[in-house]
Structure 1
Amino acid sequence: MKMKLLALTLLWCSATLLAQDYFPENEGVKSKNNNYTAFTNAKIYVTPTQVVEQGTLLIQNGKVVQVGSSVTLPKNTVTIDLKGKTIYPSFIDIYSDFGVSKPKKAEGSRRSPQYNPTREGFYWNDHIMPEKNAINAFKYDEKKAKELRNAGFGVVNSHIQDGIARGTGILIALNGKGDDSQRVLDDRSGQYFSFTKSIASRQSYPTSLMGAMALVRQMYTDADWYAKGNVDTKDRSLEALNANKGLVQIFAAGDKGNIVRADGIGDANGIQYTILGGGDEYETIADIKNTNARLIIPLNFPDAFDVSDPNQAMYVALEDMRHWNQAPANPKILAENGVTFSFTLNGLKSPSKLMDNLRKAITYGLPKTKALEALTTVPAQIMGRSDKIGSLQQGHLANFLITSGDIFAKGTTLYENWVQGTKNVITDLDLIDIRGEYDLKSAGETFALSISGKAEKPKIKVTKDTVTYSSKMTFKDEWLLLSFSKDDQLYRLSTLVKDSSIPLTGSLSLPNGKEAPFTITRNKPFAEKDKEKVAVGTPEIVPVTFPNIGYGYSEIPKPENILFRNATVWTSEEAGILENTDVLVKDGKIVKIGKGLNAGRAKVIDATDKHLTAGIIDEHSHLAALAINEAGQNSSAEVKMEDVVDPEDIDIYRNLAGGVTSLQLLHGSANPIGGRSALLKLKWGESAQNMIYDNSPKFIKFALGENVKQSNWQSFSRFPQTRMGVEQVFMNYFQRAKEYEVKKKSGKPYRHDEEMETLVEILNGERFISCHSYVQSEINMLMKVAEKFNFKVNTFTHILEGYKVADKMAEHGVGASTFSDWWAYKYEVKDAIPYNAAIMQNQGLTVAINSDDAEMSRRLNQEAAKTIKYGGVSELEAWKMVTINPAKLLHIDERVGSIKEGKDADLVLWSDNPLSVYAKAEKTLIEGATYFDLEKDKLQRESISVERNKLIGMMLKEKESGAKTQAPRNTKKEKFHCDSL
């Protein structure tokens, strides 16, 4: 019976605790605490810019009632004197997973095909889950909450960090003594997105960044289509996406490049995302600023590398060394450029690391006001909750910190973190700080006591005449207990410390068992040593370059007016090779070709005994990319290589050194219908967008052969598996595209399909196919498919059996881009011959020599020369195979590919005949700007060596100071090929 009564009593108590304001009160006599609490005589940061000296903060029922220097206190007020203390608003983290765990990883290793969703009534792709709500997966975690409160946080914004469209978040007050009815400030606090797939699904698509971007674009298109009532079936995902449009939209980008990518998608759909960055925004600050996005910035600065071993140090990339040195200045640079940002714990191993990194950012120039804003008012503004959190204005939640002083100072103690008016003790507010330097005198001896560490957990060092003794000290409940050993003899004392007044007296227990009086006097107070501060002032930061890696430039190259005098000019035109000829470049164009030209104010370059050519063009390249294949389906016509251009790929610079100025960045060959190409000018130091040809012709990659039927990676989950299946893929998709266009032209509503739109462009001659090919049977097959649907294939690339069907290719009107002498590297190229290019040219085809390899592409001049040996091609015709011929295949021959008046000044000055193995590119120009200079390259090599040694020296000093280091690592970029997954 007693147990039943106890259970009922506990149930009643539980119900009382959980009761809402509107719950009926039918049992017993209850009283509600309506007292006020006043915190007086404190320095109060109402906001980061509104500070009250000797102020009073008055709170009641979890909210701020009044704050100021003269506050009238009601009679029922409990007063807490905070003389010498400081009050700040509690911090806010708006990118958290607090209380919300990720789903379990899907079992099994094999991926499912694209159109195999595991859910009914939802979007076709499992990685799109806007219907998810964090509130449904939320469970308050007091242990984690305490850890966050100890770091100064009062509110976190949490969501399920899984998938591309992740659903809504939840805004939580870290109130351990309340319940969810109080803690949950908003159960639909924002809508979340990323470029990362869900771990809970084995659905294969997307397999790449460009696939994820295409999926997000199509998702928004489908949501609009659905919202207009064009779909008969119910889609809970799209309904949720549309319903949550009015919430703050937060995108997890994770680095500077993805910030720009995410913002571009947002702009196209009328959305201004708040974006999670990666801490590298300083490298492209102009592009970041132009997004106008509000950012969420992690403070996970990298540790120095342990470069004490010279052999290991050589493997650390200069860009990684620079990032260690430059990253702490990222918040300062964002602030200087007017970028709105908040801070997040995301990426930190522990919340306790936050303050150390904040202090580091401040040391590197971040104003303290901006630091405080990024933790309080800015996150509140981003979440649209400035009326409730982020400051201590009247009516706001009573979320505040009590500190011993400047919260960003190294020695400051955080005493309490109040959340919704509930006190959370971090360090005893009445704690006596006994740290300092002392003398202990007893029995005719004097010992030096040095008490340091944290005020709440001090540590002691006992010395005499430079000899340090083994010692132990505790300080608890005002009692100081000390013992130390001298010559294996133990000394012990205890004394009561009521306040910080010194001296202290008492009796010291001596080793002989007797006691002697002692006196402890303070010589000087404790002073915090800043181990991180190597020198007075802001630490030295190496300059950012464009791009910010080795061989980056201090300034982006600018066009110059240049006269090349007395060169051997390879025009790649009917004029052929011109001896002792001048070429005048002005405003990025070739304006005049002739002898004895007037330079005017142009810079004159003596090109006597040198050769001037048009820049080399690589029709088939995979360099300057972050991904090559979207392999999740048999058609990837919706993806764009322009989305994944990597302007920091060192192979751009290396190709400029080989005279390459333009290339086609092609999708790989994982599927019959690949992605859309990017035509690039190798403008080293420019942004990805500025490298892409303006008014670019439209291309797409198709593929035939072993790769598309997955012969080499044993995947049996995707059609096609045979060469005849490949043909049916083409037939099926083009038939669908025809039907799609008919519906589109009918005037009836239609679902905009990015994939079908691309294929329609092919049917209409608006987009050109560059097709990966080897075997003659498949080459014939695709030409027949194209003729059946009344379009032409533009280019067969690789085309190593082109010599067998060159006459048929000529009849079809297709060009060829081939290797010079690759053969026997897989079964389907066993019939390749080095005479292929010459034979196809003799049949009237436009023939180019390509690389498909980042290393070979910088030697395309030599690859072209091989056609002279294998086939007897003339020097000029051989040279055309890497200049005007690829320009024709890419439909950019009116702009580049030859030296002709009016064309872009994409030029290379060679030290020798450009077809010679001895020839070096001395200068490579794009639109009149010098992007490679052989003499400057030598200086850069020396500069890089000096900079590496400087950074290594800094890292060694960092290690000597006791700072944590990381092991050296090699971050060399993968070189992509057609089959890279």
Structure 2
Amino acid sequence: MKKIFTIAACLALGAGNVMAQDTFPRNGVYDERSGLVAFTHATVHTDYKTTLPDATLVIRNGKVEAVGANLKVPAGAVVVDARGKHIYPGLVDMFSSYGLPEVKSERRSYSSPPQPESEKQGAYNWNQAIRPETNAVELFKVDKKQAAELRKLGFGTVLSVHRDGIARGTAALVTLAEERENEVVVLDKAAGTLSFDRGSSKQDYPNSLMGAIALLRQTYLDAQWNARNQEKEQNISLKAFEEANQYPQIFEADNKLNVLRADKVGDEFGKQYIIKGAGDEYQMLQQVKASNAPIILSLNFPDAYNVEDPFDARRVSLEDMKHWEMAAANAAMLQKAGVTIAFTASDLKDKKDFLPNMRKAIEYGLPEEEALKALTVTPARLLKAENKVGSLNKGLLANFIITSDALFAKESVILENWVQGHQYKVSEVPSDYRGVYTLKIANQPDRKLLIAGTPEKPELKVVAQDTVNGKVSFNGNLVTLSFNKDKKSNESIRLSGWLADKNLQGEGQLPDATSVKWTATFSEAMSQKAKADSTKTAKPVALGEMLYPFKAFGAAELPKQETVLIKNATVWTSEKEGKLDNTDVLLKNGKIAKVGKNLSESGARVIDGTGKHVTPGIIDEHSHIALDGVNEGTQSVTAEVRMADVVNPADINIYRQLAGGVTTSQLLHGSANPIGGQSAVVKLRWGKSADEMLIKDAKYIKFALGENVKHSNRSNLHSIRFPQSRMGVEQVYIDAFTRAKEYEQAWKDYNKLSKRAQAKTPPPRRDLELDALVEILNNERFITCHSYVQSEINMMIKVADQMGFKVNTFTHILEGYKVADKMVEHGVGAGTFSDWWAYKMEVKDAIPQNAGIMNKVGVVTAINSDDAEMARRLNQEAAKSVKYAGVSEEDAIKMITLNPAKLMHLDDRTGSLKAGKDADVVLWNDHPLSIYAKPLKTFVDGVAYYDLERDEQMRVELGKERMRLVQKMLNEKASGAKTQAPVSKKARVLHCEEVEVSEEEAYLAN
């Protein structure tokens, strides 16, 4: 049957060259064959849920003509007997770079000056990372080598994406036939494509993730504006961006957080993205599900780590260990949650891993039917190409694969891949001779012959009075066998022969050199038993618990809000009542319900506070923890960027600072530019998502003065960016707010027009940068200004008075003691350090009494961190003002509780222990200003996100979990699986001055 199948199929090699129905002339005669082929007696899977046994598939002119059981074979058709074979629709890869030029992500070297403007010639966008005018179909070239590699995996159609830039233009849906480009393009513009990666652009902006997000937002707005204002600006890129929006939108995200960030941008502009993920989406399953985004899944599972050396094992984080264990379950978990999934082979280093990893995903819980759906119907439907590919219905392209067994069976092999009616041989499968035979050798007693193993590596056993192992090999229809005559003997019987129907026969030689004839009569197929065994329900793969967040000190179940009554503690209220001895605090429904003596509450969890202290949660007014990037340090004004876009809720510093009593932090942009980005104010709700941490109505922005904004601490190459002097910094503010006022007036004038007039008059261009500055002018957004030197502080107050806005807070302000009276007059507060000095010239006049002097004069003064480690001991930092400046203990505690709450306009809800405020509370084991004090419990909204006893228990559990995973990895290595060397991943702690630069620049700058 194998010969008939192969020979018959080869007759159809020219099946797609039909009647020369294209625009290209031919040098020679035209091939007018219809490409009519009928595949009979096959198991045909017309789609993921429909299987037809003993069916016929008829293709003509590169398309499916008919499929079904008992079909009449059309006259003139080439008939292929596919008995015992399976036929599936050709697979569809939704994210490939097939046929497109390689994109090299360019980064400016240290020896190159910054590039502030686009170098692309023509009427294109101002930023080279915005390139929607790129159409992949115009760059596409058939690549026979790549096509063959992808066809071996079962793919017949791929979406070719040019992975360059933030707005990448359109992708083309193409087949993997080795024909002209004109003939293989299914949809020339199948999808618009986007990312947060600036790609090959060497332009400075954006140099951060938040900058990329802001640029994409502004591009949406600019494209809408340009559509109504083309008499003012003809912009090829913005026109192309608008056009690309009409197609399905595919967004490449390189981690789970970027999946959610991308979806948020899409929601803002009414776009439901299809998101290409990175394989870690299961770690934020509920948030990914809530996005409603279809996810294109990677099957690039990590290898186990080589952890035989216990010191090496310590270099692997718990997060990486658990991801190794759980990555293969990603698809199953998403599918079970109701997320629409598709697959891509694009991330695989070795493309041959695709089907084995697909089978592993099935082993980890993904139903086979859903796996097939995600490889065929789903990508076709998402790309609006279901009338062309994805199934074997009449009229669709003749894209299908022929397999030796069910596609996802362990030993199944793809034999052929037909693309647009063209046959491509993929592999040859040795004939399956496994079975039970009766062996007759001359006049000797009958023996039982067992051929087992696999068709590629058959194994021989011969059973008579005892059982001996032997060797067997097949070469086409020829066979060679050898085995000892019994277990005690080393004398070998050697036989050679050939296949006769299902039986074997031939000649051989006995140990005494006697020539004999032999036969082996087939009685039972071993493979039938093997197949029966393979249908048994596999045991579910045992996996560890999910953690929220997915790392050390995450929890399988997050702590819940409780009613808590703390009894008989020393209570530091940060209110007019001051410090109260032997007092109770009741937390209920996330609020402080009561503060007083002899309180009681039915159902409350009672905590004995005897000898302990209770304070409001510490509020850090100046922090940079939990951020994926701090500075968009490319332009002088970047008010459009938002720290809320890059909050990382899994930063371990959140947990560590809860352990230091911190409950709220303002996450500030850095100090690389005079006007930086918009702040994110967060409650430290460990285990929650970024959105769930945000205090969304807290609107702040970072300004900066001094050395950083004029690039004093960078190389001379950066001298091209304005400003380069302190005078220039002042002018940046004057210019920015002048533009903001003009912008605001333009919108006021437009909004005064009647609706009829507005319909005829294009609106002003919406500018996200100026939107933020207008909010400042209207007292809707508040400034935190990085500052050190007296002269610049005076300048900033003068500019604010001149332009009609207020500075809310001067942060750092180490010379604040010199200008405290002017600060009171302006109404500006201070967030300062207790005793930082001598780390650069502009802090040379810092004194430890600074906070105390400002507090005494009447400036609302807070002690802040600007440092992930310092934030864990802000109570001790506040205590220094008691020592240095004679500040009262109560005022010192206010400097880290009520005062920062006032600076952040949150004092109506947090910062003190007052009935009705948020239950942000810390229970200390000792006086809160003591170096021996440590939090026993830290409550945020009445939830104990940190508990010292639970922490100690978690450390034991974490140790056990690590050892379980280490042992599992050791077993994996022992089984022969590939492993990878442990690599230390040092967490990067960000500060005000951190700017994303090349490794070379960072090295040379130090």
**TM-score scaled by structure 1?**
0.92
Report the Cα offset of residue 624 of structure 1.
1.0
Residues 511-550 of structure 1 mapped to structure 2, 5 A cutoff: 525=526, 537-550=539-552
1:835 aligns with 2:849: yes
Distance, in Å, in 2 between the alignment partners of 1:26 and 1:861 is 85
1:722 aligns with 2:736: no
Give the letter for the 1:186 counterpart.
L
Report the Cα offset of residue 463 of structure 1.
12
1:40 partner SS: strand
Distance, in Å, in 1 between the alignment partners of 2:896 and 2:348 is 50
Aligned twin of 1:181: 182
Aligned twin of 1:6: none
2:423 partner SS: coil
Aligned twin of 2:922: 908
Aligned twin of 1:366: 366
2:719 partner SS: coil
Contact 2:17/2:61 (8 A) holds in 1: no
The equivalent position to 1:559 in structure 2, one of 558, 561, 564, is 561
Contact 2:59/2:66 (8 A) holds in 1: yes
Long gaps (5+) in structure 1: 1-13
Distance, in Å, in 2 between the alignment partners of 1:211 and 1:489 is 79
Quickly say closer, same or farther: Cα 1:685–1:439, change in 2 above 3 A. farther
Question: Which has the larger displacement, 435-444 or 368-377?
Answer: 435-444
2:922 partner SS: strand
Report the Cα offset of residue 596 of structure 1.
1.1
Long gaps (5+) in structure 2: 1-13, 751-760, 996-1006
Question: Which has the larger displacement, 551-560 or 109-118?
Answer: 109-118
Aligned twin of 1:11: none
Contact 2:619/2:663 (8 A) holds in 1: yes
Distance, in Å, in 2 between the alignment partners of 1:894 and 1:438 is 88
Residues 186-201 of structure 1 mapped to structure 2, 5 A cutoff: 186-199=187-200, 201=201
Aligned twin of 1:755: 769
Aligned twin of 1:327: 327
Q: Identity of counterpart residues, as a percentage?
A: 49
Residues 592-631 of structure 1 mapped to structure 2, 5 A cutoff: 592-631=594-633
Report the Cα offset of residue 113 of structure 1.
3.7
Contact 1:172/1:186 (8 A) holds in 2: yes
Aligned twin of 2:404: 404
Aligned twin of 1:292: 292
Quickly say closer, same or farther: Cα 1:922–1:29, change in 2 above 3 A. closer
Contact 2:39/2:57 (8 A) holds in 1: yes
Distance, in Å, in 2 between the alignment partners of 1:771 and 1:52 is 71
Quickly say closer, same or farther: Cα 1:551–1:214, change in 2 above 3 A. same
1:924 aligns with 2:927: no
The equivalent position to 2:953 in structure 1, one of 935, 939, 942, is 939
Distance, in Å, in 2 between the alignment partners of 1:437 and 1:661 is 73
Distance, in Å, in 2 between the alignment partners of 1:968 and 1:521 is 55
Distance, in Å, in 2 between the alignment partners of 1:440 and 1:631 is 82
Give the letter for the 2:157 counterpart.
V
Distance, in Å, in 2 between the alignment partners of 1:693 and 1:89 is 50
Distance, in Å, in 1 between the alignment partners of 2:206 and 2:947 is 41
Q: Per-residue CA shift, 1:859-881, capped at 9, x if unaligned?
A: 10111111111101110011000
Q: Per-residue CA shift, 1:295-354, capped at 9, x if unaligned?
A: 111111111111111111011111111111111111111111111110111211132211
Report the Cα offset of residue 734 of structure 1.
1.6
1:402 partner SS: strand
Contact 1:570/1:613 (8 A) holds in 2: yes
Question: Which has the larger displacement, 613-622 or 285-294?
Answer: 285-294
1:859 partner SS: helix
Quickly say closer, same or farther: Cα 1:25–1:641, change in 2 above 3 A. closer
Report the Cα offset of residue 245 of structure 1.
2.0
Contact 1:449/1:460 (8 A) holds in 2: no
2:41 partner SS: strand
Contact 1:102/1:162 (8 A) holds in 2: no
1:733 aligns with 2:747: no
The equivalent position to 1:575 in structure 2, one of 574, 577, 581, is 577
**TM-score scaled by structure 2?**
0.90
Give the letter for the 1:478 counterpart.
N
Give the letter for the 2:956 counterpart.
E
Give the letter for the 2:741 counterpart.
K
Question: Which has the larger displacement, 227-236 or 702-711?
Answer: 227-236
Residues 77-88 of structure 1 mapped to structure 2, 5 A cutoff: 77-88=77-88
Question: Which has the larger displacement, 942-951 or 964-973?
Answer: 964-973
Distance, in Å, in 1 between the alignment partners of 2:772 and 2:222 is 17
Quickly say closer, same or farther: Cα 1:40–1:19, change in 2 above 3 A. closer
Report the Cα offset of residue 451 of structure 1.
7.9
Distance, in Å, in 2 between the alignment partners of 1:251 and 1:682 is 30
Distance, in Å, in 2 between the alignment partners of 1:45 and 1:428 is 21
Quickly say closer, same or farther: Cα 1:538–1:921, change in 2 above 3 A. same
Report the Cα offset of residue 259 of structure 1.
1.2
1:392 partner SS: coil
Report the Cα offset of residue 520 of structure 1.
6.9
Question: Which has the larger displacement, 661-670 or 178-187?
Answer: 178-187
Contact 2:17/2:35 (8 A) holds in 1: no
Give the letter for the 1:278 counterpart.
A
Distance, in Å, in 2 between the alignment partners of 1:44 and 1:762 is 66
Aligned twin of 2:431: 432
Residues 730-879 of structure 1 mapped to structure 2, 5 A cutoff: 730-747=733-750, 749-879=763-893
Residues 336-415 of structure 1 mapped to structure 2, 5 A cutoff: 336-415=336-415
Distance, in Å, in 1 between the alignment partners of 2:991 and 2:899 is 23
Report the Cα offset of residue 29 of structure 1.
6.7
Residues 36-47 of structure 1 mapped to structure 2, 5 A cutoff: 36-47=36-47
Distance, in Å, in 2 between the alignment partners of 1:442 and 1:849 is 96
Contact 1:113/1:632 (8 A) holds in 2: no
Quickly say closer, same or farther: Cα 1:676–1:27, change in 2 above 3 A. closer
Question: Which has the larger displacement, 615-624 or 65-74?
Answer: 65-74
Distance, in Å, in 1 between the alignment partners of 2:362 and 2:551 is 25
Report the Cα offset of residue 396 of structure 1.
1.1
Aligned twin of 2:667: 665
Contact 2:507/2:515 (8 A) holds in 1: no
Q: Per-residue CA shift, 1:176-200, capped at 9, x if unaligned?
A: 2x3223211111111100000122x
Question: Which has the larger displacement, 899-908 or 396-405?
Answer: 396-405
Q: Per-residue CA shift, 1:792-833, capped at 9, x if unaligned?
A: 211111111212222222222211111111111222222222
Computed over aligned residues only, the root mean square deviation of the Cα atoms, in angstroms, reads 3.2
Q: How many residues align?
A: 958
Report the Cα offset of residue 447 of structure 1.
13
2:931 partner SS: coil
Quickly say closer, same or farther: Cα 1:467–1:599, change in 2 above 3 A. same
Quickly say closer, same or farther: Cα 1:28–1:819, change in 2 above 3 A. closer
Residues 148-159 of structure 1 mapped to structure 2, 5 A cutoff: 148-159=150-161
Quickly say closer, same or farther: Cα 1:105–1:580, change in 2 above 3 A. closer
Quickly say closer, same or farther: Cα 1:466–1:573, change in 2 above 3 A. farther
The equivalent position to 1:636 in structure 2, one of 627, 635, 638, is 638
2:216 partner SS: helix
Distance, in Å, in 2 between the alignment partners of 1:51 and 1:954 is 39
Residues 448-527 of structure 1 mapped to structure 2, 5 A cutoff: 455=455, 458=457, 475-480=474-479, 495-497=497-499, 501-507=502-508, 525=526
Contact 1:440/1:519 (8 A) holds in 2: yes
Report the Cα offset of residue 459 of structure 1.
7.3
Quickly say closer, same or farther: Cα 1:290–1:105, change in 2 above 3 A. closer
Distance, in Å, in 2 between the alignment partners of 1:897 and 1:450 is 81
Contact 1:435/1:458 (8 A) holds in 2: no
Report the Cα offset of residue 556 of structure 1.
2.5
Report the Cα offset of residue 683 of structure 1.
0.4
Quickly say closer, same or farther: Cα 1:491–1:419, change in 2 above 3 A. farther
Give the letter for the 2:776 counterpart.
I
2:654 partner SS: helix
Q: Per-residue CA shift, 1:541-570, capped at 9, x if unaligned?
A: 111121111111222322111111111110
Aligned twin of 1:690: 692
Report the Cα offset of residue 445 of structure 1.
14
Distance, in Å, in 2 between the alignment partners of 1:139 and 1:197 is 24
Quickly say closer, same or farther: Cα 1:945–1:33, change in 2 above 3 A. same
Question: Which has the larger displacement, 125-134 or 76-85?
Answer: 76-85
1:267 partner SS: helix
Distance, in Å, in 1 between the alignment partners of 2:810 and 2:731 is 19
Contact 1:113/1:717 (8 A) holds in 2: no
Distance, in Å, in 2 between the alignment partners of 1:338 and 1:83 is 37
1:885 aligns with 2:923: no
Distance, in Å, in 1 between the alignment partners of 2:626 and 2:357 is 33
Distance, in Å, in 1 between the alignment partners of 2:607 and 2:394 is 71
